Amino acid sequence: MLELIDAKAHGWDPKGLQTVSDFAQSAGSAQLMIKHSAGLLIDAKFEAQPVDVFAVQKGLVAILVGMAQEKGFLEIYDHINHHLEPEWTQLSPWDEAKLNVETLLTMTTGMDDALGLCGEINKTWRYNNVAYGYLKQLLEQSTGKTLSVLTDEWLTQPLGMSQTRWRARDQVLPDGTPMTGLVSTAADLVMLGDMILNRGRVAGETIFGDAYYLDDLIKPGSAMNPAWGWFWWNNNQSHFMLPGSDKTYAGVPLPDAPQDLFSARGAFGNFLTIVPSLNIVVARTTSPSSANNSQKNFEGEFWRHLMAARS
């Protein structure tokens, strides 16, 4: 059982951390947890139930892909058609053959949501949830296990993430397969982040042994959007793009946060963030009743408060 630590002894101002917690509550958070390597700095549960964490799920799926590679089920540079039946897209056979696992991780499919060509494959960055859905199918096909079983056997059971599960959404992929959402809590997400922070190890046990893969998660996945790696965002490149837009922004996504920060981010301000230089993992989930456009600015303000709490 994780316990709160003496924040001041580890370089944090308790009053500043209370300001962070108060801000999170006022902004409609369901839960907020900040874990230092020595223990918890914040453990705030404004709502107890697990919530849909939206695209934070991609951070978990990226780890599952790495574990599948480590176990010999696939390779990052495998062509998608080595695992899925051809013609799963609207591309020509020649273009479809260019798609590999890394293409889906980097979101450089060059496809629109109908899976037709709308850019240059392996170059054009476009956030594509439909193409991403087929990566889950690829995991299931290559391992012979459902996504729920894979997640349970490889991550949630070993890490003790007892409140994390997949559930069907109303939307479906072009082949009729339901899309899935990930339901979790801040406490569960912190367990995943802590494993990543500790290079795949938890309590002396190796959960994921490919530390090089963890490095690759946050390397620039494309020249168009170097802040996006393999489903994880970094905070140290010259420019970035955002989902649903073709606009390029100068600088980093979070200028008030440490440069070595990396995050799995979901809609409405859900996130799992790791900061090696501070030895912390931060997870925030959003109350469904507060999931609205006002959450777009939450993360920047959150980091301004948190960095002000450094004593």
Q: What's the pLDDT tens digit per position in 203-222? A: 999 999 999 999 999 999 99
- Contact criterion met (CB below 8 Å) for 237 and 252: yes
Residue with tokens 């591309």: 91
Residues in the chain: 311
Q: Helix count (H) and strand count (E) of the chain?
A: 10, 13
pLDDT average, residue stretch 138-161: 98
Please name the residues in contact with 142: beta carbons below 8 A apart, sequence gap of 6 or more: 68, 73, 74, 83
Of the candidates 227, 204, 202, 225, the one whose C-alpha atom is nearest the C-alpha of residue 281 is 202
Q: Please enumerate, as own/partner, the contacts of 237-241 that have beta carbons within 8 Å and a separation of 24 or more.
A: 241/125
Which pairing describes strands 39-45 and 29-36: parallel, antiparallel, or unpaired?
antiparallel
pLDDT of residue 293: 57
Nearest to 173 by CA among 261, 113, 258: 113
From residue 66, give the alpha-carbon distance in Å to each of 23, 63, 75: 36, 5, 9
pLDDT at 29: 96
The string of pLDDT tens digits covering residues 6-57 is 999 999 999 999 999 999 999 999 999 999 999 999 999 999 999 999 999 9
Token pair of 129 as six digits? 């949830």
Candidates 148, 139, 137; CA nearest to 115 is 137
Helix (H, G, I), strand (E, B) or coil at 186: helix
Report, as an integer, the average pLDDT of 163-189. 97
The model carries a pTM of 0.98
State residue 263's pLDDT score. 98
The pLDDT assigned to 236 comes to 98
Q: What is the pLDDT of residue 297?
A: 86
Q: What pLDDT sits at residue 183?
A: 98
Whether 294 has a pLDDT exceeding 70, the answer reads no
C-alpha–C-alpha distance, residues 139 and 237, integer Å:
30
pLDDT tens per residue, range 96-129: 999 999 999 999 999 999 999 999 999 999 999 9
pLDDT for residue 301? 97
Architecture of the domain delimited by 8-308: 3-Layer(aba) Sandwich (3.40)
Answer for the pair 51, 30: CB distance below 8 angstroms, yes or no: yes
28 conformational bin, left if phi > 0, alpha if psi -120 to 50, beta if neither: left
Distances, alpha carbon 245 to alpha carbons 225, 227, 240, 249, 293, in Å: 12, 15, 11, 11, 15
Rounded mean pLDDT of the chain? Answer: 97
pLDDT value, residue 290? 87
Q: What percent of the chain clears pLDDT 70, i.e. is strictly above it?
A: 99
What number is the average pLDDT over the span 80-95? 97
Helix (H) or strand (E) holding 308: helix 298-308
Q: How confident is the model at residue 173 (pLDDT cuts 50, 70, 90)?
A: very high
Asked whether residue 296 carries a pLDDT value surpassing 80, the answer given is no
Radius of gyration of the chain (CA): 19
Q: What residue segments make up the domains of the chain, in order of their start?
A: 8-308
Q: Which of 88, 270, 273 is nearest to 181 (CA)?
A: 270
Question: What is residue 291's predicted lDDT score, i.e. its pLDDT?
Answer: 75
